């Protein structure tokens, strides 16, 4: 049985973890190294670190921060933000990332995904797909530049194209649900799950274990959580045990009751 994953997410800006609602009204949520240590100790399966201002600032991901986070982790680490080239990806992998996530640069130049997959292997390449429901309510469109720009591109078709080009995983975030704690965008998750054969990590909207279970049932292979962990409403261990009680295969550790 395929093991499901619970993955804390550290959205970072200026060296701090931040969290907002629908990518806006950001507030400080702590030190990334301390957060990484806490979530690893709670039994996180993986960790995602996203430098959310790198693309808009026109710079690469903060490598020194990645290296410091890597030092306290013994679990897989996905890093994104400002990845525009093979050199950018190589630098992050050298700093300790296990996977690199690409969003805006892949939309601008889709062949980047194939270049990264050929150089580093598809297992290292994550499509970070931010999607919002179209304003007319008919389907979902791709959003780039940290939620600031709607592209008009169909999100489901883009996921399928990206997987065909070489993305080995899709980090799927609902812009509409991000930070709202209203539950994941299940229709979006199900549609992408039908369109791709690679793992999907669902993100945006979690408030409790029931929401995570809904996302997994809709077709996600893993679930991302941020604010409910940053604000100590629950722990990674509690979420994993609750999912296991609902029948999902989870990696459980007796040290994380």
Q: Is the pLDDT of residue 165 over 90?
A: yes
CA distance 162 to 175: 19
Category of 9 on φ-ψ map: left (φ > 0), alpha (ψ -120 to 50) or beta: beta
Q: Is the pLDDT of residue 26 over 80?
A: no
- Asked if 18 and 35 count as a contact pair (C-beta separation under 8 A), the reply is no
Whole-number mean pLDDT of the chain? 93
Q: Can you give the pLDDT at residue 62?
A: 83
The C-alpha angle with vertex 130 and arms to 129 and 135, in degrees rounded to 5, equals 130
Helices 186-195 & 209-218 angle (0-180, nearest 10): 30
Q: Is the pLDDT of residue 47 over 90?
A: yes
- CATH number 3.40.50.970 given to 5-245: no
Q: Is the pLDDT of residue 257 over 60?
A: no
Q: Can you give the pLDDT at residue 253?
A: 78
Q: Is the pLDDT of residue 86 over 80?
A: yes
CA distance 202 to 79: 16
Q: Name which residue leads in pLDDT, 212 or 256.
A: 212
The catalytic position among 88, 130, 178, 221 is 130
Q: Is the pLDDT of residue 61 over 60?
A: yes
Does the active-site annotation cover 214? no
Does the active-site annotation cover 138? no
Name 138's Cβ contacts closer than 8 Å, sequence gap at least 6.
Answer: none
The catalytic position among 11, 13, 88, 214 is 11
Q: Can you give the pLDDT at residue 55?
A: 65
Q: Is the pLDDT of residue 59 over 90?
A: no
Q: Can you give the pLDDT at residue 58?
A: 67
Q: Is the pLDDT of residue 74 over 90?
A: yes
Q: Can you give the pLDDT at residue 172?
A: 98
């Amino acid at each position: 049985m395929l093991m499901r994953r619970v993955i804390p997410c550290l959205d970072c800006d200026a060296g701090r973890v931040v969290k907002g609602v629908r990518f806006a009204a950001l507030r400080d949520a702590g030190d990334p190294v301390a957060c990484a240590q806490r979530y690893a100790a709670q039994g996180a399966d993986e960790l995602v670190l996203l430098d959310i201002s790198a693309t808009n600032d026109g710079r690469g991901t903060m490598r020194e921060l990645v290296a410091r986070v890597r030092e306290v982790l013994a679990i897989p680490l996905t890093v994104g933000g400002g990845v525009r080239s093979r050199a950018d990806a190589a630098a992050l992998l050298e700093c300790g990332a296990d996977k690199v996530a690409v969003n805006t640069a892949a939309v601008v130049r889709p062949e980047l995904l194939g270049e990264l997959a050929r150089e580093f292997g598809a297992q290292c390449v994550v499509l970070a797909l931010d999607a919002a429901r179209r304003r007319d309510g008919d389907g979902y469109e791709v959003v780039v530049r940290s939620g600031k720009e709607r592209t008009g591109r169909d999100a489901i078709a883009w996921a399928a194209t990206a997987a065909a080009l070489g993305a080995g995983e899709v980090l799927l975030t609902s812009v509409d649900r991000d930070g709202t704690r209203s539950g994941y965008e299940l229709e979006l998750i199900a549609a992408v799950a039908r369109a791709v054969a690679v793992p999907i990590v669902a993100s945006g909207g979690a408030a409790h274990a029931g929401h995570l279970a809904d996302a997994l049932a809709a077709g996600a292979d893993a679930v991302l959580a941020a604010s409910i962990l940053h604000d100590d409403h629950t722990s990674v261990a509690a979420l994993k045990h609750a999912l296991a009680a609902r029948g999902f295969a989870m990696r459980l550790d007796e040290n994380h009751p």
